[in-house]
């Protein structure tokens, strides 16, 4: 059993070489940046915003930190580090990936046949079902519960295949959850802004309820991890409490940022709508004035 607290140098020697994740992350980054450069080179008047590319790349980096850095290694030994990894790949990275608007970029860089294929894909029945807000919320709520608060957490700490399935599915479920909330790409379901805010708030409340349940526990829930804690680590209950607080506080930060962003976009949308309506009213008023003046001229000529 490990008895000595690892130093910084030792901690940073524990990087995970997971070929599947490395290929996926590098491939996604390469394809996105290639499409980004092509669009901005061929359509300079309407470029894909650079800040969206930065957001997408930041999401990939955060996933890499969660699944390849020492967080992955020590997450198999300490619950609070494990939950820090969960926080990164479910709450921080997916919104950034979606903010990058990868589907919009794909539409802009593709030819007509590929655009038709993409359109059929995101309008297909399976995609419509899983991105329906109630379905996407249930997938995320149930899926994260199963992976984070069941015995599968213990299994994943010593089974590489289960660990990969866990991480891949958590990222996928998080992307599904955030899609109707952010609506940064063409999607079938585009809830009104108040509904989007409520959607995120409900999940924030749900996560707070789960957190409260675990904070009220008097014995470790993940018993296998508790038995195998390194000697230099915290005691099992402190480890569990710290894990829940990291997931709870870190997740709430993202939820509040998302709600703030939704409200800001709602206000901007209402401002544009108001300006559009005012402009239309002004045009109608101007047309009415011209019509009245024309009638007055005709009337004078008649007299």
CA 166 to CA 189: how far, in whole Å?
27
Residue 2 belongs to a domain: no
pLDDT at 3 over 70: no
Residue 104 belongs to a domain: yes
Q: 248-277: per-residue pLDDT in tens?
A: 999 999 999 999 999 998 998 888 888 888
Q: What's residue 35's pLDDT?
A: 95
Question: DSSP string spanning 205-268?
Answer: HHHHHHHHHHHT-SS-SSHHHHHT--TTS--HHHHHHHHHHHHHHHHHHHHHHHHHHHHHHHHH
Q: What's residue 228's pLDDT?
A: 84
Q: Which residue has the tokens 């997408």?
A: 56
Q: What's residue 211's pLDDT?
A: 87
pLDDT at 181 over 80: yes
What is the average per-residue pLDDT within 272-284?
81
CA 45 to chain centre: 29
pLDDT at 302 over 70: no
User: Total structural domains in the chain?
Assistant: 1
Q: What's residue 257's pLDDT?
A: 94
Residue 119 belongs to a domain: yes
Instruction: Name every residue whose Cβ is closer than 8 Å to that of residue 126 and which is 6 or more positions away in sequence.
Output: none
For the chain, the distance separating the N- and C-terminal CA atoms, rounded to the nearest angstrom, is 110
Residue 165 belongs to a domain: yes
Q: What's residue 194's pLDDT?
A: 93
Residue 3 belongs to a domain: no
Question: DSSP string spanning 93-115?
Answer: HHHHHHHT-HHHHHHHHS-HHHH
Residue 1 belongs to a domain: no
What is the average per-residue pLDDT within 81-87?
94
Q: What's residue 64's pLDDT?
A: 97
Q: What's residue 2's pLDDT?
A: 58
pLDDT at 288 over 90: no
Q: What's residue 287's pLDDT?
A: 78
Q: What's residue 219's pLDDT?
A: 87
Q: 20-60: per-residue pLDDT in tens?
A: 999 999 999 999 999 999 999 999 889 999 999 999 999 99
Alpha-helix residue ranges (DSSP H) falling in the chain: 8-11, 19-42, 50-68, 70-75, 79-87, 93-99, 102-109, 112-123, 125-130, 133-148, 152-156, 160-182, 193-215, 223-227, 236-302
Q: What's residue 104's pLDDT?
A: 93
More confident residue, 282 or 100: 100
* Range in 67-76, 112-121, 186-195, 293-302 with the lowest mean pLDDT: 293-302
Q: Is residue 99 within 8 Å of 182, Cβ to Cβ?
A: yes
Q: What's residue 57's pLDDT?
A: 97
Q: 105-161: per-residue pLDDT in tens?
A: 999 998 888 888 888 888 889 999 999 999 999 999 999 988 888 888 888 888 889
CA 142 to CA 140: how far, in whole Å?
6
Q: What's residue 86's pLDDT?
A: 93
Residue 257 belongs to a domain: yes
Q: Which domain holds residue 229?
A: 8-302
Q: Is residue 259 within 8 Å of 200, Cβ to Cβ?
A: yes
Q: 203-247: per-residue pLDDT in tens?
A: 999 988 888 888 888 888 888 888 888 888 888 999 999 999 999
The average confidence (pLDDT) of the chain is 89
């Amino acid at each position: 059993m490990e008895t000595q607290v690892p130093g910084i140098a030792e901690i940073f020697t524990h990087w995970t070489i997971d070929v599947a994740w490395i290929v996926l992350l590098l491939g996604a980054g390469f394809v996105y940046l290639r499409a980004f450069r092509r669009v901005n080179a061929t359509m300079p008047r309407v470029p894909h915003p650079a800040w969206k590319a930065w957001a997408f790349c930041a999401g990939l980096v955060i996933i890499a930190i969660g699944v390849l850095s020492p967080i992955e290694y020590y997450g198999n030994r300490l619950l609070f580090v494990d939950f820090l990894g969960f926080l990164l790949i479910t709450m921080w990275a997916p919104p950034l990936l979606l903010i990058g608007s990868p589907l919009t970029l794909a539409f802009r860089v593709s030819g007509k046949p590929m655009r038709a294929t993409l359109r059929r894909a995101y309008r297909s029945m399976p995609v419509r079902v899983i991105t329906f807000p109630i379905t996407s919320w249930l997938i995320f709520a149930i899926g994260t519960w199963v992976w984070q608060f069941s015995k599968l957490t213990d299994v994943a700490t010593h089974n590489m295949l289960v660990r990969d399935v866990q991480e891949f599915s958590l990222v996928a479920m998080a992307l599904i959850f955030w899609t109707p909330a952010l609506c940064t790409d063409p999607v079938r379901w585009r809830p009104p802004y108040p509904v989007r805010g409520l959607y995120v708030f409900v999940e924030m409340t749900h996560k707070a309820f789960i957190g409260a349940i675990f904070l009220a526990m008097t014995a470790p829930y993940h018993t296998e991890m508790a038995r195998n804690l390194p000697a230099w680590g915290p005691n099992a209950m402190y480890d569990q409490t710290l894990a829940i607080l990291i997931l709870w506080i870190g997740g709430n930060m993202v939820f509040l940022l998302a709600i703030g962003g939704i409200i800001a976009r709602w206000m901007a949308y209402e401002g544009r709508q108001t300006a559009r309506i005012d402009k239309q009213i002004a045009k109608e008023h101007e047309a009415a004035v011209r019509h009245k003046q024309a009638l007055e001229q005709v009337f004078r000529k008649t007299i």
